[in-house]
């Protein structure tokens, strides 16, 4: 995953029922410069 100029304001939804995977994916996506919305499952999303 890489970030180009203009993408910084884009938000990514991370939805997973596993707290470990949710936190891991959220951290990676944030590190890439995206804003993140987190949900425990599809309904929460």
Partner 1 sequence: MPSSTGIDTNADQESVLLKRTSAPDTLSGAVDMAVLTSFEEAQGEGEPDLVVELIDLYLEDAPHRVAAIREALAKTDGQSLERAAHGLKGSSASLGAGQVAVLCEELELIAHDFSFQAVAVVVTRLEREFERVRQTFLAERQRRLG
Residues forming contacts to partner 1 in the complex (CB under 8 A) are: 17-21, 23-24, 27-28, 30-31
- The distance of closest approach from Cβ of residue 40 to partner 1 in the complex, given in angstroms and rounded to an integer, is 12
Estimate to the nearest angstrom the gap between the alpha carbon of 4 and the chain centroid. 16
Is 10 or 27 the residue whose CB approaches partner 1 more closely?
27
For residue 13 the two structure tokens come to 């939804």
Q: For partner 1, which is the closer residue by CB, 31 or 45?
A: 31
**CB of residue 15 to partner 1, shortest distance in Å:** 14
φ and ψ at 41, to 5 degrees?
Answer: -160, -175
- Tell me how far apart the 2 most distant CA atoms of the chain are, in Å: 32
């Amino acid at each position: 995953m890489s970030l180009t100029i203009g993408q910084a304001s884009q938000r990514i939804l991370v939805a997973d029922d596993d707290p470990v995977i949710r936190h891991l994916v959220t951290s990676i996506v944030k590190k890439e410069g995206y804003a993140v919305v987190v949900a425990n499952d599809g309904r929460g999303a």
